[in-house]
């Protein structure tokens, strides 16, 4: 079978990151040093070959893109300085843009000025919308009830429902696109393990894969297996290691989401509760994790102590900046409701918190935040296929 090489893919990939994959002569060193790369998942080598041949569909449908956590070992040891780690990160950005049909994700990654203007405009629109229904700044000491008088609870609730509906629709579309790509992606072991006979759905393998995926999400076991002792994280304490920073951001955000949902279902929004109230405590701990993780990630990128942070993309800064500001404003609001405080500034912080939190949710499937959906899905597919094809035991 003949194969036509398409050089345009490499030119397109250049827009999503900084690397020199043309320098790669496919020596395989990157796959050899990666502790997560296995016989049937030889990344980054296979992914680089797809890009060199212009096989875009093969590249963005590869589960291996999401099995990589970018520890930087491959880039540190590349004899040609081709930056295979950054290539994998760029390919993930290309995949996110490929799964999302509107073109917004692509714009976010390739046009910093466009995304900056878009974010500012969205924030202005949401702010003006909220203020249009505000009766004004309440007098007296600040309380939760008065904040929800300034920006009516019903307005926040129904605007939030609209944002979540948009998020849900966009997520469904992108997830369907990813599932279709993963399901039709060629498996490296297919010739040896292929079984065309029909049969019932392998539920046992699916459940086992789901358990393994949940374990990875909660404990970051694969991330911890990255060969950090030899490379970037060699002398760092556990709380400064990349996997823990990543875990803190992820668990912190989803913990805040859970606290918000439980608050809505079981608590009167105007009710003043103690710091030890279960939902408030969950939100406080989760917010602390989020602030720690995002702050550590930002400081690491500013100091650039290792290759993991050196190649940070503009989209990474946007995502982390929004997370950090949302977390900070949330903590400020939590502090002031327990203190005898008054002033217009508190309501400005409240408005900023609401607007930026909604903006962050709107951008969920278009930014690096989409990893929260794509990576678990790819991990499940990877594990499920290995189990059902007999490569791993159930």
- Show me where the domains of the chain are located: 8-99, 114-188+197-388
Residue-wise pLDDT for 344-377, tens only, equals 999 999 999 999 999 998 888 888 888 888 999 9
Q: Which two tokens stand for residue 155?
A: 């307005």
Residue-wise pLDDT for 44-60, tens only, equals 888 898 998 888 888 99
- Is the predicted pLDDT of residue 198 greater than 70, yes or no? no
In DSSP terms, 41 is beta-bridged to: 38
Query: For position 23, what pLDDT does the model report?
Result: 86
Q: Is the peptide bond before 305 cis (omega within 30 degrees of 0)?
A: no
Which residues are within 8 A (CB) of 281 and not within 5 positions of it... i.e. 6 or more apart?
Answer: 275
Closest by alpha carbon to 202, among 44, 12, 385, 23?
A: 385
The mean of the pLDDT values for the chain is 86
Question: What is the distance between the alpha carbons of residues 160 and 165, in angstroms, rounded to a whole number?
Answer: 8
Domain range 8-99, CATH class:
mainly alpha
- Is the predicted pLDDT of residue 191 greater than 60, yes or no? no
pLDDT band of residue 94 (cuts 50, 70, 90) is very high
Closest by alpha carbon to 123, among 356, 328, 367, 360?
A: 356
Mean pLDDT value across residues 372-392: 84
Q: Where are the alpha helices (DSSP H) in 220-364?
A: 221-225, 242-266, 278-303, 307-310, 314-336, 344-362
Query: For position 42, what pLDDT does the model report?
Result: 76
Strands (E), the chain: none
Helix (H) or strand (E) holding 206: helix 203-219
């Amino acid at each position: 079978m003949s194969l036509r090489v398409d050089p345009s893919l490499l030119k397109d990939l250049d827009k999503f990151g900084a690397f020199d994959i043309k320098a790669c002569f496919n020596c395989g060193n990157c796959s050899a040093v990666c502790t997560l790369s296995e016989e049937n998942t030889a990344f980054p080598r296979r992914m680089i070959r797809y890009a060199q041949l212009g096989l875009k569909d093969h590249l963005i449908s590869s589960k291996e893109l999401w099995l990589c956590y970018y520890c930087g070992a491959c880039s540190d040891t590349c004899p040609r300085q081709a930056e295979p780690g950054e290539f994998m990160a760029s390919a993930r950005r290309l995949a996110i843009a490929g799964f999302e049909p509107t073109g917004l994700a692509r714009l976010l990654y390739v046009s910093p000025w466009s995304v900056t203007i878009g974010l500012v405009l969205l924030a202005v629109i949401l702010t003006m919308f909220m203020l249009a229904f505000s009766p004004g700044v309440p007098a007296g000491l600040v309380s939760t009830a008065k904040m929800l008088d300034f920006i009516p609870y019903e307005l926040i609730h129904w605007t939030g429902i609209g944002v979540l509906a948009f998020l849900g629709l966009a997520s469904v579309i992108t997830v369907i696109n990813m599932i279709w790509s993963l399901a039709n992606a060629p498996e490296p072991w297919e010739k040896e393990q292929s079984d065309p006979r029909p049969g019932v759905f392998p539920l046992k393998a699916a459940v086992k894969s789901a358990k393994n995926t949940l374990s990875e999400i909660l404990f970051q076991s694969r991330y911890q297996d990255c060969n950090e002792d030899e490379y970037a994280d060699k002398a760092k304490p556990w709380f400064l290691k990349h996997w823990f920073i990543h875990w803190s951001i992820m668990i912190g955000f989803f913990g805040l989401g859970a606290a918000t949902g439980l608050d809505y279902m079981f608590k009167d929004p105007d009710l003043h509760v103690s710091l030890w109230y279960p939902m408030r405590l969950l939100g406080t701990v989760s917010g602390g994790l989020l602030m720690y993780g995002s702050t550590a990630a930002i400081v690491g990128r500013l100091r650039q102590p290792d290759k993991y942070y050196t190649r940070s993309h503009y989209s990474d800064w946007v995502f982390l900046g929004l997370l950090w500001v949302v977390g900070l404003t949330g903590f400020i609001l939590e502090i002031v409701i327990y203190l005898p405080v008054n002033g217009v500034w508190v309501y400005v912080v409240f408005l900023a918190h609401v607007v930026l939190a909604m903006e962050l949710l709107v951008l969920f499937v278009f930014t690096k935040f989409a990893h929260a959906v794509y990576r678990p899905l790819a991990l499940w597919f990877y594990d499920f296929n290995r189990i059902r094809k007999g490569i791993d035991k159930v």
